[in-house]
Structure 1
Amino acid sequence: MAKGVEISTNEEHFVGEALKLGFRTDGRTLTQAREPVIKLSDQYGYVEIVWGRTKLAVRISAEITQPYEDRPFEGLFTINTEISPMASPHFENGKNSDEEVLIARLVEKAIRRSNALDLESLCIVAGSKVWSIRADIHFLDFDGGLIDASCLGVMTALQHFRKPDVSVVGENVVIHSVDERQPVPLSILHVPICVTFSFYNPSGVEENIKGDLNEEISIIDATQQEELLRDGSLVITINKNRELIQISKSGGLPIDAMVLMDLSRKAYVIAEELTEKVKQLLKVDEEERYKRLNLKLLESGERR
């Protein structure tokens, strides 16, 4: 969490007692995630995510470059994050916080290392020219859940993005304009979704670690206030195919195997719902684009 963030003793006590009773300050249950609002732009690859009071924008861009020497048949994929004081006064301008590094690392692992984005499909000329895909994440407002919102935003933007069509003539690569040829979607093999669990130890870690591990309280999708008070966190990345992509544990008590299985099932339900939500939004967006295109062609034909 960003440095300088503080919470009063009364607030800490109130939130802690509420969690013991199964309540949260925003009215959600312990296992209820916030419903994200996904806004697709007319511009391919630009997506805005509103996750409670957390807001971020993701922009996908592409350029032709040289591949890595040890991976001549693969394109490149990079993630860049930007958290400014505009999102929260606790973040410093122009300085990467630990949270930014963690977000970029976890989302990059979830997408690139799991081969969610097919990097081989980005190859144009082996060993010479490949597409380099870059995802820029700009955080506009902060109220917790940055990892979950970032992963959802990047995966939605990647599916929404279209790169220019190209043709290879000898050693030259010709990039065709949108007016000349339809842009090409990226090859997405699966959709990883990050789900973050936060843990609270009413008796304290030192005392509870000797006792019953089941005393630990877990909640889904913590707000900034809840993140400040948590004793540990767990990020589970999973897709709708029930493939467990990554598990990242930070702080808290050791997790029992049965508890981990239960949390994974809860994460799968959320991943399945979000994947279907994104699928339907992209389908509607594509249908509306085709309608506008057909209308434009019809109007131009009538003028002629």
Structure 2
Amino acid sequence: MRETPLSSCEREFILKAITEHKRFDGRQAYDYRKVKISFGVDRGCCQVQLGDTRVLAQVSCEITAPKPTRPTDGVLFVNVELSPMASPGFEIGRPSEFGVELTRLLERCLKESRCVDTESLCVVAGEKVWAIRVDIHALNYEGNLLDAASVAAIAAIAHFRRPDVTVSGEEVTVHSPEERDPVPLSVHHMPICCTFAFFTQGKHLLVDPSLVEEKVMDGKMVIGMNKHREICMLQITGEMLLLKEQVLRCSNIAVVKVTEISELILKALENDRVARASGEKCGFAESVEPKKITTTKTDRQDVDMEEDAADKMAEASHSSDDDMQIARPGDSSEVKVLDKGLAAIGEGGQNTWDMDDDAATEAVADAAAAATSSRLQGKGDNQHQVIDLDSGSEEETTVTLSHDDLQTHRPSTSPAQPASGKSEAKKGKKKKKK
């Protein structure tokens, strides 16, 4: 695992805050982050959130041959997967030292404590046994990944159901969930890991360290314990010397934390059982709290309505949809009742729609233009006319006229002055000069 190193200023700032009994997230020295447990739709799928650290555990099973040294015991296998999705320091491919350490600690906590009854996993002694595999995937790494992985692993094992098996002579029949109800695993106790971080040569102690606190700690101690005060695993790493009183103090703190987490697991299992029995929705989608937008929320306003309007709306809402009535405005005749899904157009009548002055003026102008075009069209065969009359269009009207039309429709002069008025006026001027 490749970690991003901290600068000297950051390291000194974090250590100074710890010596003053202060933590970045506002917790006290012995406080755990918020733990949330949710189960998937499939049996044996569990997701645990420890603050911003997220872990997903999935349990599966298959029938295999037992180990030669234990012919009547089943097999419990634990695998931890660390991908770059959880942290940029994780690599794909060969497991890192941190991943191998997590796998070994979980195997010691689950397998060596014998929390699962492996003898109940035997199908045929010496030939066939159930192999239980626990795959743990890190979704997000923000410190204390071991504690979250241990909670997810034991909760997934308790939530898992294996298929029922019938043995008849040498024939082994594995029943589907539709034929027979799956069988839960026999879990004796629930071992849970609790991590403690030490600073300044063991003088300061923190429970559930975050990622930045893990980078500056001198060492840590991991205690695997169940609620019966039985220590299942203990590991101390780092360059420090711990006194007997410090180990006892950590064990007393672990008892309280493990008891609280065990009750939380049992409560989550009970809620999931009730939801499945009642047919309610279950799974990760139901456990996610949707983000609500409240900035555009408006208060509810009551609208006062008149009694007559309210009565009309009530009558309209209670009217049947089987019949439909159609009537034209101003029609005094009887209303026709039509079947559902049919419609008809009336015989027509006087237009009752009101028209404004502009619309009336445009209608009169269009009628006059249409009359003029009809007169021009009957004048002769040599006349060509292109008229585009559309009352709903604002396009300009184009009219093509012949030479005869231009002579016929030439603007007439006044009666006092004929068309040859200019020549007569010139003759009058000459007579005056003479």
Shared fold by TM > 0.5? yes
Superposed, 1:82-231 pairs within 5 Å as: 82-201=81-200, 205=201, 216-231=203-218
Unmatched 5+ stretches in structure 2: 281-434
Mapped partners of 2:89, 2:178: distance in 1: 45
Please report how far the alpha carbon of residue 3 of structure 1 lies from its aligned counterpart in structure 2 after TM superposition. 2.0
Instruction: Name the % identity.
Output: 38
1:209-252 CA-to-partner distances (Å, cap 9, x unmatched) read xxxxxx61110111111101110010011110011111100014
Question: What is the DSSP-based 3-state SS (H/G/I as helix, E as strand, rest coil) of the residue aligned with 2:242?
Answer: coil
Mapped partners of 2:60, 2:218: distance in 1: 38
Higher relative contact order, structure no. (Cα contacts within 8 Å, ≥ 6 residues apart): 1
Question: What is the DSSP-based 3-state SS (H/G/I as helix, E as strand, rest coil) of the residue aligned with 1:113?
Answer: coil
Mapped partners of 1:97, 1:5: distance in 2: 16
- Conserved? CA contact 1:238–1:244, under 8 Å: yes
- Conserved? CA contact 1:84–1:94, under 8 Å: no
Q: Which residue of 1 aligns with 2:44?
A: 45
Please report how far the alpha carbon of residue 176 of structure 1 lies from its aligned counterpart in structure 2 after TM superposition. 0.5
Q: 2:225 aligns with which of 232, 238, 245?
A: 238
1:227-282 CA-to-partner distances (Å, cap 9, x unmatched) read 01110010011110011111100014222112111110100100000000000110
Mapped partners of 1:101, 1:142: distance in 2: 16
1:72-124 CA-to-partner distances (Å, cap 9, x unmatched) read 01000111111111111111111211111111111110111010011111111
1:149-208 CA-to-partner distances (Å, cap 9, x unmatched) read 11100000000000001110111211111111110000000000100001111xxx5xxx
Please report how far the alpha carbon of residue 39 of structure 1 lies from its aligned counterpart in structure 2 after TM superposition. 1.1
**Displaced runs of 4+ in structure 1, greater than 6 A?**
none
Matching residue's letter, 2:134: A
Unmatched 5+ stretches in structure 1: 206-214, 294-304
Mapped partners of 1:145, 1:166: distance in 2: 39
Please report how far the alpha carbon of residue 42 of structure 1 lies from its aligned counterpart in structure 2 after TM superposition. 1.6
The structure with more strand, counted as a fraction of residues: 1
Question: What is the DSSP-based 3-state SS (H/G/I as helix, E as strand, rest coil) of the residue aligned with 1:69?
Answer: coil
Mapped partners of 1:233, 1:46: distance in 2: 30
Please report how far the alpha carbon of residue 50 of structure 1 lies from its aligned counterpart in structure 2 after TM superposition. 1.1
Mapped partners of 2:254, 2:5: distance in 1: 30
Question: What is the DSSP-based 3-state SS (H/G/I as helix, E as strand, rest coil) of the residue aligned with 2:9?
Answer: helix
- Whichever of the two has the greater Rg, that structure is 2
Mapped partners of 2:171, 2:22: distance in 1: 63
Mapped partners of 1:158, 1:221: distance in 2: 23
Report the number of matched residues: 280
Mapped partners of 2:252, 2:148: distance in 1: 19
Q: Which residue of 1 aligns with 2:427?
A: none
Mapped partners of 2:3, 2:25: distance in 1: 24
TM-score by structure 2 length?
A: 0.63
TM-score by structure 1 length?
A: 0.90
Mapped partners of 2:273, 2:172: distance in 1: 28
Worse-superposed segment, 126-135 or 27-36: 27-36
Mapped partners of 2:271, 2:53: distance in 1: 25
Question: What is the DSSP-based 3-state SS (H/G/I as helix, E as strand, rest coil) of the residue aligned with 2:193?
Answer: strand
Please report how far the alpha carbon of residue 292 of structure 1 lies from its aligned counterpart in structure 2 after TM superposition. 1.6
Report whether the alignment pairs 1:247 with 2:246. no
**CA RMSD between the two structures:** 1.1
- Conserved? CA contact 1:199–1:252, under 8 Å: no
Please report how far the alpha carbon of residue 7 of structure 1 lies from its aligned counterpart in structure 2 after TM superposition. 1.1
Q: Which residue of 2 aligns with 1:265?
A: 252
Matching residue's letter, 2:197: S
Matching residue's letter, 1:139: A
Please report how far the alpha carbon of residue 13 of structure 1 lies from its aligned counterpart in structure 2 after TM superposition. 1.1
Please report how far the alpha carbon of residue 4 of structure 1 lies from its aligned counterpart in structure 2 after TM superposition. 3.8
Please report how far the alpha carbon of residue 52 of structure 1 lies from its aligned counterpart in structure 2 after TM superposition. 1.0
Q: 1:290 aligns with which of 262, 272, 277?
A: 277
